[in-house]
Structure 1
Amino acid sequence: MKKYILKLFIVSAFANGETDRICLLKCSGYLLDRRKMLYFLYDDFSGERTVEMNLKEKDFDLTFQMGKGENITTVLNDIKLIYILSGSMDVSVGTENFNAGAGDFFLLNVGQSFGWKSREDCLYACLKIRYGLFTENLGMPYLYFICSTVRGDMNADIYQRVFQVLSQLVREYTAAPGTPGFRRETLWYSLMDILVRHCLFHRPESIENIEISQRMILVMQYVCANYMKNLSQDEAAKTMYLSSSAFSRWFKKQCGVNYGDFVTRVRLTHSVEDLIFTNKSMTDIALDNGFSNASVFTKVFRKHYGQTPTDYRKGHTSVQEVGNDLIARVKSSPEFLKIRSRTAVQKVRVVQADTDQGTVWEDCWNQGINAGDAADLLSARIQSQILTLKENLGLKYVRISNIFSSRLRLRKEHSVGPMNFDGIDGVMDFIISNGMHPFIDLCDREHVVFLAMNEFLYKEQAEGTFLTADELFQVLTDMFRHFVGRYGVREVSSWLIECWYDDRSRRVVGLDENYGVIFREICSRLKEAAPGIRVGGCGLELGISEQHFREIAADMVESGGIPDFITMYIYPYAGLRSQISDFDYTVEKLRLCRNILAQYHLEDLDIYVTEWNLSVSSRNYYNDSCAKASMLLRHVSSSAGCGRMFMYSVVSDLSSNYYDSSKLLFGAPGLMSKDGLYKPVYYALWFLRQLSGKLLACGPEHMITVSASGVYQILLFCPKALNYKYFLRKEYDIKPSDLEGMFEDNAQIVLNMEINHVPETDYYMKCYILDQTHGSLLDQWMSMGLPEGLNGKDIEYLKGVTQPGLIFRKISAAQGRLLLKETMELHQIKLIQIYPS
């Protein structure tokens, strides 16, 4: 086995004042023995160390090959699986002959002879798994698999399992040729697991129990598993439980050649493969395949093939990898195009609903919106976008923060004398005059534009608005007396107030005071000014601050400051790790909140989620995608009935404006772009608003309601979990074009739906469609080439073309049932409305 010198470099990375060690390993695509790998990862050393290690032969390989004519017959030395992408080939495997066309795949065992010929260009994927990987891990010296679509010996379930892994591997190797990845290794081991569990045909317990005439394949497998070693005849004879002389005679009789000649042929077969399909040097090829040096290899090779290895490499290029050109041909092949939509990778769901059952549907997701700093609402652009959302989503509350900010010119420094209410009156006038109510976040909050959790593009420190609790109480009392005088006690009593706790600085409204005491006094003063006003707190993300929440709940009970409702934030993070692909994150945090409240006898309080999103980042193009919209609905469906109000954060991308935000989209989390264009997540909330009446069914890809007038609304969505590629990147480093390859699968979901006890009549069915083709601003912008500097006419054009698709058709109910079948594509959302014709 070839030896390599592997250098390990230790690099220091400083985070939070601590040093983390990182090992950078480069092994030219070879896999290390895992026990040795772990030893060096955990060995406590620094600086540079040179270590001599034995590296295994490459365990897995997938190459795309194309050829016309005839391929020489070879004896196989590793497990191979051939998957035809286009064209066809006549195949010979041992004594068996068959034809394989596009879509077929077949497995070739070690020790079998294999050859093919084709009258046209045949494009295929050749997957190789090192035979020793099976024997080493299973402890079985000899293995034989049956896995083929051309022999008719695979049942449908096994076929689908193999095809799913096979198609994902092909996609992986075409998406980023030559780039390794954890997902690839996972897929390879999944394929091996399927083969061992379902396709393993021959696993002898003892060679002694096998007839001598049947042992030839086992000898070949022994040689193929160990060809790179010194394979003496004596060792081979021992494995067959024969003497060396008896083994020699038997082998010559069975195979027609001497044992030594057979070993040489196996080594030469591997050498030929390396010559054609790799750029290895002659020395590397010789050592990797069991020859003592390059000179011996060249001499043996010339004897068998009549030419040197170098000349052979030059003359045999008809079937080989040809880089990007071949990858392009693979992507345009008929079989590759079927991979995305093949029924073998569809997931089928059965959905049943009954109009005689169900619960009252309440839209908790469009009652309010998080608008950010109060001072931002003095902007005409923000006001225009809020009014658009109010009209289309039916907003009742607008949540604002930092009402004491110096940007509103309320008072000079820390004076508690006469105050200038013009700024805050302008904000309140806008909200109230347009039929909405303020939801005020009492806080002293810093202004932040997040890149990722604990990483900031821009951060403006909190102002330190109050020096003492008495100053806070006096300013708050005077302000709300002013509000009552200006808007009336009835209006102010309809407001909602949140007293936020800053878990980073452990302060409340900027003061280092006991939360329960401060909250009780605030609540008392506000209710004195407007008795009907509702006050709650404390606005924590339980994935990060569960212990702080428990402490505050205890403070509230101990101080007697019981809130009218509880507020919390939901951003899917656990510590600094994103949990965006945890479909149940939202509902689990709501249940955790409810359980903690129950421990303090507060379980009857309403829960208001006053900040709600899937990412804190303001520079993450996932925010602009259909993928986020579909995922958002998945979180909604799992948490229906668990909260009183969810306030999406935030209204507009304008909240994240900075020097780098001149493009149409820049990864901000708003429902609307800075130019007022709707993003997919806006349409997700608009679709939700169309649901009404009674909730008949709710599941991971659907919600079904029926209105009092007998209109059925069916909201369907096809969310996909993000894969490791997303989580290995910084959120702000992801480009729009990167998103396509960042999901666990692209399988369609087929929903077979049945609604029972419906009037037997004819119906109209109206279907809105949101996907990457219909209604996606990001995808439309990408199709235009991501242009910058768009003018007013360009924006108007985009408004017109980024709307959901719309389809009408007629359907009928029979025997009191409505039957529908919908196929959902990747990230797609459909709103289906069914009403009597």
Structure 2
Amino acid sequence: MEVMRTIMDFEFDTAKVQSMHFHQNPEILYVLDGKAEVQIETEKYELEKGDFLFVNVNKRHSLFETEKELLFARFRINFSMLSDYLGTNQILFWCNTTADKNEAYDHLGRILDRILNRFYDKEKEGALYLNSIYYEALYVLTSYFMVKSDDIRLKDKGGPDNSRVFEIQNYVQANYQKQISLNDLAKKLYLSNAYLSKYIKKRFGLSFVEYVNNIRLFHAVDELLYGEKKITRIALDNGFSTTASFNKTFKDVYHMTPSAYRTSVRQETQGDEKEEQSRAEIEQRVKDYLAGNNFVPDETATKNLGVVTVDAEKTVPLKKSWCEIINVGKIEALLDCDIQRQVLMMKEEIGFKYVRIWNIFVQEMYEERDGDWHYNFSRIDRGLDFLVENGLKPYIELSFKPIHVSYSINSTLAEKDNHIIFHERDSYEKVMNDLASHLVNRYGMDEIETWYFELWKDDRLNMLDENGWYFDCFEIGYLALKRVSEKIKAGGAGFALGYDRYQYHDLIRNWKKRRIKPDFISVYSYSYLLIQQNGMYFGKRSLDSNFVKNQLDIFKEVLREEDFLPEELHITEWNFTISNRNCINDSCAQGAYVMKSCINSVGNVDKMGFWHGCDLNSEYYDTEAVLYGDNGLLTRDGIKKPSFYAFHFLHFLQDQMLGKTENALISTNGRGIYTIVCHNCKQFNYRYTMKEEKDIRVDDLYELYEDLDTIHLKFRIQNVKNGEYIMRVFYVNPENGSVQDIWREMDYMKNLSKGEVDYIRRGAMPKVGMRKIKVEDGELWVETQMKAHEIKVMEIYYQY
């Protein structure tokens, strides 16, 4: 196996079996025809045609054909060159189409196809162009699939010193071909030689020299078995100073010389080699593949997105799951007059039906005396009275959620655990039965039968144990509510999409073993992924703008596999971030993200609950400014953000859907009214993950996206009534209606006067336009330009 001369290279292969091995360079395995099982360390993955996965450095892997006529491509990456470019040896990728969904996979797949189409252009001028595509592929890999050194280490999963082990492994992998010493590594890690020597011995069970030689031997064995190099060349290329030192080290481990080992293994596998296709046959398979493969053009896609054609006589009911639930906070929040005003505003202008509240049980309202338990429900009553009196429905989370003001998923500005006040079954059973009776007596059976009750899988309830306290708590609450009425709906458990991915099957299987099943299943969706590599867990921010849809699809597939399909599926919390101090929350980009996610949700989920309604929930010592990056739809002063207007525009949609695309949804009432909502949501680039969320500045936002291009949308609605129509257009973009951009013009001043706040409030309103449209041939044409991060609604009315 020759040393790579470029940063990347590739070849086609038809091997039916590749035994467990690993390389000095990472690689991508891409199945082009047939099927294969790939095992990486202890994990196995079934790859079908079109699937690909990334095999990291130092990861033992094997492959065998599971469907005849396997053809796959292997893309090798020069680790040394890549680490030089990135300035780090701590390089780890998570890229696996069989275990994840992300729109970036489609992007990378198209690039890999372009590389394959250049198979016969590897020399001279063609090699220069091919090299440019290699760098494009690596840019996508590092932007969307790299687990960076500052991504979260889950210490309870893999131990507190995962980072150091990871750094040692990568350093040796990057430098084993050179003459390296313990002293070199100790200097890099700012440790003494003696301490590092003991540390390596303890963690790896080998001395430093033994560990390095072990790595060298693994790679040398690869070349012995799969290459034609002479023994001397293999020794020098893999870091051994002389052939003699290579022979001695090899013999200590394999009890024979490298030459004898090569001969013996090849004799053993000679029969298998006879079964392999000849080079000529592989060449023919490649020619057949390329001849039948549609050529992927190299030009970037035009920003003119083409015409969207729909038929006014072909509709389907539109279920607006996005406006079902809004998260407000702990029940005491509903006693605040400012929050009450904001909740009513959201009901009126957005159409939310359910208000999700939690932490209804607090210690000061609970009395335990002589084995008897009593709860005072008066505070709960005042909050629920407000909702019921104003035609809103409670969505009650029954567990004890912690109170956080979060910088990011792994750091907080303020944190307060909420202690569970029920410590035995009898006390919880008594209070839940009292609550159920109290609610039906106060609000009536018909009313509470429309409510929802949820129990989140707080880690303290240990849902990973089939006999965990979670299941007891759920069943106690479920039975207490069903005792009052079978129509009351109780569910859970707030599975974190993407983050609980390695536990989905275990959690669902545990629930299946219980006698009581939920009426609905709830999930949370924030754009963070948990990645497992060789026993180590990493959390990273996802750049997938379709995160909600893609991760929901993965979770729903698990439910189907486990035959645990609920009557309803709810996303009770969703946002791209959990941070209360991320200025993107206040931006037009957030409005476009909200609209995109809501359009994607159509037909995929029954109810969604945006996180959250009001910035008032995270007021703290640092919130004296008009905006402070909280993820509410309304500012502390009740000013509407672009995210509010995204929901407001969606509320204009009619009840019948004509069609939807990546950027738009078209609806009608069937009686001459047509409504189109559209957005120009942009994709984050790698720079977003390079910054701590709290450190992002408003003036930096435009650097965080792949492009800021305007798009041109065209719509054609067929079979409409001829005549004159009026079109009203409402839109928000950075130049019109954005509270954040208005505040920028005021130099981000803090401690504004009431008049200045009112000025911002008046400015933070959508731009409005109107025009006439004449229809003569039964076709209604609408065109519009959308700036980056813009959201828009177009209402079209027939004029009688």
Pairwise CA distance, 1:547:
4.0
Which position in structure 2 is the counterpart of 1:119?
none
Structure 2 CA distance for partners of 1:17 and 1:637, relative to 1, 3 Å = closer
Pairwise CA distance, 1:354:
1.1
Cα distance in 2 for partners of 1:601, 1:814 equals 53
Pairwise CA distance, 1:537:
1.0
Structure 2 CA distance for partners of 1:158 and 1:447, relative to 1, 3 Å = closer
Amino acid corresponding to residue 305 of structure 2 in structure 1: V
- The structure 1 residue matched to 2:348, chosen from 391, 403, 406, is 391
Asked if structure 2 preserves the Cα contact closer than 8 Å seen for 1:370 and 1:400, the reply is yes
What aligned pairs does 1:113-152 form with structure 2 within 5 A after superposition?
none
Cα distance in 2 for partners of 1:674, 1:373 equals 17
Which position in structure 2 is the counterpart of 1:692?
654
Which position in structure 2 is the counterpart of 1:431?
387
Which position in structure 2 is the counterpart of 1:768?
730
**How big is each residue's C-alpha offset from its partner over 1:680-739, in whole Å with a ceiling of 9 and x where there is no partner?**
000001111111121111111111001133211011100111112211000110011111
Cα distance in 2 for partners of 1:546, 1:732 equals 26
SS in 1 for 2:781: strand
SS in 2 for 1:544: coil
Which position in structure 2 is the counterpart of 1:533?
488
- The structure 1 residue matched to 2:450, chosen from 491, 494, 498, is 494
Asked if structure 1 preserves the Cα contact closer than 8 Å seen for 2:518 and 2:566, the reply is no
Amino acid corresponding to residue 561 of structure 1 in structure 2: I
Cα distance in 2 for partners of 1:452, 1:578 equals 11
Amino acid corresponding to residue 485 of structure 2 in structure 1: A
Amino acid corresponding to residue 497 of structure 2 in structure 1: L
Amino acid corresponding to residue 359 of structure 2 in structure 1: N
Cα distance in 1 for partners of 2:542, 2:174 equals 33
1:778 aligns with 2:734: no
Asked if structure 2 preserves the Cα contact closer than 8 Å seen for 1:693 and 1:705, the reply is yes
Cα distance in 2 for partners of 1:557, 1:830 equals 45
SS in 2 for 1:796: helix
SS in 2 for 1:737: helix
SS in 2 for 1:499: strand
- The structure 1 residue matched to 2:596, chosen from 634, 644, 656, is 634
SS in 2 for 1:587: helix
- The structure 1 residue matched to 2:436, chosen from 469, 476, 480, is 480
Which position in structure 2 is the counterpart of 1:553?
508
SS in 1 for 2:352: coil
Pairwise CA distance, 1:565:
1.0
Structure 2: gaps spanning 5 or more residues: 1-148, 162-172, 190-295, 531-537
**How big is each residue's C-alpha offset from its partner over 1:787-809, in whole Å with a ceiling of 9 and x where there is no partner?**
11112222222221110000000
1:564 aligns with 2:519: yes
- The structure 1 residue matched to 2:427, chosen from 458, 462, 471, is 471
Which position in structure 2 is the counterpart of 1:359?
316
Cα distance in 1 for partners of 2:311, 2:735 equals 33
1:520 aligns with 2:475: yes
Which position in structure 2 is the counterpart of 1:446?
402
Which position in structure 2 is the counterpart of 1:597?
559
What aligned pairs does 1:285-304 form with structure 2 within 5 A after superposition?
none
**How big is each residue's C-alpha offset from its partner over 1:729-767, in whole Å with a ceiling of 9 and x where there is no partner?**
001100111112211111111112211111111110100
Asked if structure 1 preserves the Cα contact closer than 8 Å seen for 2:408 and 2:692, the reply is yes
Amino acid corresponding to residue 531 of structure 1 in structure 2: E
Asked if structure 1 preserves the Cα contact closer than 8 Å seen for 2:402 and 2:418, the reply is yes
Asked if structure 1 preserves the Cα contact closer than 8 Å seen for 2:358 and 2:396, the reply is yes
Structure 2 CA distance for partners of 1:758 and 1:161, relative to 1, 3 Å = closer
Calculate the aligned-residue CA RMSD, in Å: 3.4
SS in 2 for 1:404: coil
Pairwise CA distance, 1:161:
6.6
Pairwise CA distance, 1:44:
8.7
Cα distance in 2 for partners of 1:587, 1:162 equals 23
Asked if structure 2 preserves the Cα contact closer than 8 Å seen for 1:443 and 1:499, the reply is yes
**Percent identical residues:** 28
Asked if structure 1 preserves the Cα contact closer than 8 Å seen for 2:466 and 2:510, the reply is no
Cα distance in 2 for partners of 1:498, 1:626 equals 32
Amino acid corresponding to residue 705 of structure 1 in structure 2: S
Structure 2 CA distance for partners of 1:385 and 1:162, relative to 1, 3 Å = closer
SS in 2 for 1:444: coil
Cα distance in 1 for partners of 2:356, 2:439 equals 17
Structure 1: gaps spanning 5 or more residues: 1-9, 23-33, 51-156, 165-346
Structure 2 CA distance for partners of 1:561 and 1:692, relative to 1, 3 Å = same
What aligned pairs does 1:195-210 form with structure 2 within 5 A after superposition?
none
Asked if structure 1 preserves the Cα contact closer than 8 Å seen for 2:464 and 2:507, the reply is no
Which position in structure 2 is the counterpart of 1:56?
none
- The structure 2 residue matched to 1:751, chosen from 708, 713, 719, is 713
Cα distance in 2 for partners of 1:160, 1:794 equals 49
1:645 aligns with 2:601: no
Pairwise CA distance, 1:515:
3.5
User: How many residues end up aligned between the 2 structures?
Assistant: 526
Asked if structure 2 preserves the Cα contact closer than 8 Å seen for 1:506 and 1:512, the reply is no
Cα distance in 1 for partners of 2:674, 2:180 equals 59
606-615 or 555-564: bigger deviation: 555-564
**How big is each residue's C-alpha offset from its partner over 1:492-535, in whole Å with a ceiling of 9 and x where there is no partner?**
22211012111x43447999835344323321111112332111
Cα distance in 1 for partners of 2:181, 2:582 equals 34
SS in 2 for 1:629: helix
Cα distance in 2 for partners of 1:546, 1:414 equals 44
Which position in structure 2 is the counterpart of 1:656?
618
- TM norm structure 2: 0.61
Structure 2 CA distance for partners of 1:523 and 1:746, relative to 1, 3 Å = same
Structure 2 CA distance for partners of 1:585 and 1:464, relative to 1, 3 Å = same
Cα distance in 2 for partners of 1:594, 1:19 equals 28
1:738 aligns with 2:695: no
Which position in structure 1 is the counterpart of 2:628?
666
Asked if structure 2 preserves the Cα contact closer than 8 Å seen for 1:414 and 1:465, the reply is no
What aligned pairs does 1:246-265 form with structure 2 within 5 A after superposition?
none
Structure 2 CA distance for partners of 1:374 and 1:586, relative to 1, 3 Å = same
Asked if structure 1 preserves the Cα contact closer than 8 Å seen for 2:519 and 2:566, the reply is no
Structure 2 CA distance for partners of 1:44 and 1:405, relative to 1, 3 Å = farther
Pairwise CA distance, 1:49:
6.8
Asked if structure 1 preserves the Cα contact closer than 8 Å seen for 2:730 and 2:769, the reply is yes
Cα distance in 2 for partners of 1:619, 1:39 equals 46
533-542 or 664-673: bigger deviation: 533-542
- The structure 2 residue matched to 1:48, chosen from 187, 212, 219, is 187
Which position in structure 1 is the counterpart of 2:767?
805
800-809 or 706-715: bigger deviation: 706-715
Cα distance in 2 for partners of 1:807, 1:771 equals 14
Amino acid corresponding to residue 403 of structure 1 in structure 2: I
SS in 2 for 1:559: coil
Amino acid corresponding to residue 739 of structure 1 in structure 2: L
Which position in structure 1 is the counterpart of 2:670?
708
Cα distance in 1 for partners of 2:539, 2:341 equals 36
SS in 2 for 1:399: strand
Which position in structure 2 is the counterpart of 1:619?
581
Which position in structure 2 is the counterpart of 1:200?
none
Structure 2 CA distance for partners of 1:603 and 1:163, relative to 1, 3 Å = closer
Amino acid corresponding to residue 584 of structure 2 in structure 1: Y
Cα distance in 2 for partners of 1:163, 1:352 equals 19
Which position in structure 2 is the counterpart of 1:824?
786
What aligned pairs does 1:76-225 form with structure 2 within 5 A after superposition?
none
Amino acid corresponding to residue 576 of structure 2 in structure 1: L
- TM norm structure 1: 0.59
**How big is each residue's C-alpha offset from its partner over 1:313-351, in whole Å with a ceiling of 9 and x where there is no partner?**
xxxxxxxxxxxxxxxxxxxxxxxxxxxxxxxxxx43321
Cα distance in 1 for partners of 2:332, 2:181 equals 53
Which position in structure 1 is the counterpart of 2:378?
422
Structure 2 CA distance for partners of 1:429 and 1:814, relative to 1, 3 Å = same
Amino acid corresponding to residue 654 of structure 1 in structure 2: L
Larger-gyration structure (1/2): 1
- The structure 1 residue matched to 2:411, chosen from 431, 449, 455, is 455
